[in-house]
Amino acid sequence: MSKLTHFNADGQAHMVDVGNKAETRRQATASGQITMLAETLDAIRAGNNKKGDVLAVARLAGIMAAKKTADLIPLCHPLPITAIDMELTISAAGSAVSCQATVSTHGRTGVEMEALTAVQVALLTVYDMCKAVDRGMVIEQVCLVAKLGGKSGHWQRD
Protein backbone atom coordinates (compact mmCIF):
# COMPACT_ATOMS: atom_id res chain seq x y z
CA MET A 1 0.00 0.00 0.00
CA SER A 2 1.25 3.49 -0.85
CA LYS A 3 2.17 5.90 1.90
CA LEU A 4 -0.28 8.74 2.54
CA THR A 5 1.50 11.90 1.42
CA HIS A 6 -0.37 14.50 3.46
CA PHE A 7 1.20 13.42 6.74
CA ASN A 8 4.74 14.21 7.89
CA ALA A 9 7.06 11.82 9.76
CA ASP A 10 5.33 12.76 13.03
CA GLY A 11 1.89 11.92 11.63
CA GLN A 12 0.80 15.55 11.40
CA ALA A 13 -1.08 16.90 8.40
CA HIS A 14 0.99 19.07 6.07
CA MET A 15 0.86 20.44 2.54
CA VAL A 16 3.02 18.37 0.20
CA ASP A 17 5.98 20.21 -1.33
CA VAL A 18 5.54 20.03 -5.10
CA GLY A 19 8.34 22.49 -5.86
CA ASN A 20 10.65 19.86 -7.37
CA LYS A 21 7.99 18.23 -9.55
CA ALA A 22 8.05 18.85 -13.27
CA GLU A 23 5.42 21.11 -14.77
CA THR A 24 3.31 19.05 -17.15
CA ARG A 25 -0.10 19.22 -18.77
CA ARG A 26 -2.58 17.74 -16.32
CA GLN A 27 -6.25 16.97 -16.70
CA ALA A 28 -8.90 15.25 -14.62
CA THR A 29 -12.49 14.25 -15.31
CA ALA A 30 -15.08 13.52 -12.62
CA SER A 31 -18.75 12.64 -12.85
CA GLY A 32 -21.84 12.15 -10.73
CA GLN A 33 -25.60 12.48 -10.82
CA ILE A 34 -28.60 13.66 -8.86
CA THR A 35 -31.77 11.59 -8.99
CA MET A 36 -35.17 13.15 -8.46
CA LEU A 37 -38.89 12.81 -9.02
CA ALA A 38 -39.94 12.69 -12.68
CA GLU A 39 -41.98 15.86 -12.13
CA THR A 40 -38.89 17.71 -10.90
CA LEU A 41 -36.93 16.61 -13.94
CA ASP A 42 -39.81 17.71 -16.19
CA ALA A 43 -39.75 21.17 -14.58
CA ILE A 44 -35.98 21.46 -15.18
CA ARG A 45 -36.40 20.38 -18.81
CA ALA A 46 -39.29 22.80 -19.39
CA GLY A 47 -37.49 25.70 -17.71
CA ASN A 48 -40.30 26.14 -15.20
CA ASN A 49 -38.13 26.56 -12.11
CA LYS A 50 -38.92 29.82 -10.31
CA LYS A 51 -35.23 30.35 -9.52
CA GLY A 52 -34.20 30.26 -13.19
CA ASP A 53 -32.35 27.99 -15.61
CA VAL A 54 -31.23 25.17 -13.33
CA LEU A 55 -28.62 23.66 -15.62
CA ALA A 56 -27.06 27.01 -16.60
CA VAL A 57 -26.73 28.09 -12.97
CA ALA A 58 -25.34 24.67 -11.95
CA ARG A 59 -22.78 24.83 -14.78
CA LEU A 60 -21.55 28.24 -13.57
CA ALA A 61 -21.49 27.06 -9.95
CA GLY A 62 -19.32 24.09 -10.93
CA ILE A 63 -16.87 26.32 -12.79
CA MET A 64 -16.65 28.71 -9.85
CA ALA A 65 -16.17 25.82 -7.41
CA ALA A 66 -13.28 24.33 -9.39
CA LYS A 67 -11.53 27.71 -9.23
CA LYS A 68 -12.07 27.89 -5.44
CA THR A 69 -11.04 24.33 -4.54
CA ALA A 70 -7.85 25.36 -2.72
CA ASP A 71 -10.00 27.61 -0.50
CA LEU A 72 -12.28 24.69 0.41
CA ILE A 73 -9.94 21.69 0.74
CA PRO A 74 -7.27 22.52 3.34
CA LEU A 75 -4.22 20.82 1.80
CA CYS A 76 -4.93 21.51 -1.90
CA HIS A 77 -2.52 23.72 -3.79
CA PRO A 78 -3.93 26.76 -5.60
CA LEU A 79 -3.56 26.00 -9.30
CA PRO A 80 -3.65 28.04 -12.50
CA ILE A 81 -6.59 26.32 -14.18
CA THR A 82 -6.40 26.60 -17.96
CA ALA A 83 -9.80 25.13 -18.85
CA ILE A 84 -12.98 23.78 -17.27
CA ASP A 85 -15.60 21.90 -19.25
CA MET A 86 -18.90 21.26 -17.45
CA GLU A 87 -21.54 19.01 -19.00
CA LEU A 88 -24.97 18.62 -17.40
CA THR A 89 -27.39 16.27 -19.13
CA ILE A 90 -30.92 15.15 -18.42
CA SER A 91 -31.60 11.41 -18.23
CA ALA A 92 -35.34 10.79 -18.32
CA ALA A 93 -34.84 7.03 -18.02
CA GLY A 94 -33.08 7.40 -14.67
CA SER A 95 -34.96 10.55 -13.64
CA ALA A 96 -31.61 12.23 -13.09
CA VAL A 97 -29.32 15.05 -14.05
CA SER A 98 -25.82 13.79 -14.81
CA CYS A 99 -22.78 15.99 -14.47
CA GLN A 100 -19.28 15.63 -15.86
CA ALA A 101 -16.44 18.08 -15.24
CA THR A 102 -13.07 18.11 -16.99
CA VAL A 103 -10.45 20.43 -15.54
CA SER A 104 -7.06 21.20 -17.12
CA THR A 105 -3.88 22.92 -16.00
CA HIS A 106 -0.19 23.07 -16.76
CA GLY A 107 1.47 22.66 -13.41
CA ARG A 108 3.22 20.60 -10.76
CA THR A 109 0.21 18.80 -9.29
CA GLY A 110 -3.04 17.35 -10.58
CA VAL A 111 -6.56 18.73 -10.79
CA GLU A 112 -8.52 15.73 -9.52
CA MET A 113 -9.87 17.64 -6.53
CA GLU A 114 -10.93 20.54 -8.74
CA ALA A 115 -12.91 18.21 -11.03
CA LEU A 116 -14.56 16.43 -8.08
CA THR A 117 -15.39 19.74 -6.39
CA ALA A 118 -16.91 21.09 -9.60
CA VAL A 119 -19.23 18.07 -9.90
CA GLN A 120 -20.28 18.15 -6.25
CA VAL A 121 -21.09 21.87 -6.25
CA ALA A 122 -22.91 21.71 -9.58
CA LEU A 123 -25.11 18.89 -8.24
CA LEU A 124 -25.62 20.70 -4.92
CA THR A 125 -26.78 23.70 -6.94
CA VAL A 126 -29.36 21.56 -8.74
CA TYR A 127 -30.54 20.41 -5.32
CA ASP A 128 -30.69 23.96 -3.99
CA MET A 129 -32.67 25.23 -6.96
CA CYS A 130 -35.19 22.36 -6.83
CA LYS A 131 -35.49 21.58 -3.10
CA ALA A 132 -38.73 23.55 -2.75
CA VAL A 133 -40.52 20.91 -4.84
CA ASP A 134 -38.38 17.80 -4.17
CA ARG A 135 -36.43 17.37 -0.92
CA GLY A 136 -35.86 13.67 -1.64
CA MET A 137 -33.25 14.18 -4.38
CA VAL A 138 -30.10 12.08 -4.01
CA ILE A 139 -26.59 13.00 -5.14
CA GLU A 140 -24.74 9.81 -5.99
CA GLN A 141 -21.96 8.07 -7.88
CA VAL A 142 -19.56 11.01 -7.68
CA CYS A 143 -16.16 9.70 -8.72
CA LEU A 144 -12.97 10.39 -10.59
CA VAL A 145 -13.32 9.06 -14.15
CA ALA A 146 -9.82 9.75 -15.50
CA LYS A 147 -6.64 11.73 -14.92
CA LEU A 148 -3.75 12.60 -17.20
CA GLY A 149 -0.26 13.90 -16.56
CA GLY A 150 2.31 13.91 -13.85
CA LYS A 151 4.68 11.18 -12.73
CA SER A 152 1.89 8.60 -12.36
CA GLY A 153 0.70 9.21 -15.93
CA HIS A 154 -2.75 8.26 -17.17
CA TRP A 155 -5.40 6.61 -15.00
CA GLN A 156 -8.84 5.56 -16.24
CA ARG A 157 -11.75 4.10 -14.25
CA ASP A 158 -12.75 0.64 -15.52
103: nearest Cα among 93, 114, 117: 114
Per DSSP, the residues of 138-154 read EEEEEEEEEEE-STT--
Catalytic site residue from 42, 71, 85, 128? 128
128 is catalytic: yes
CA distance 18 to 97: 36
CB 58 within 8 A of CB 123: yes
Active site residues: 128
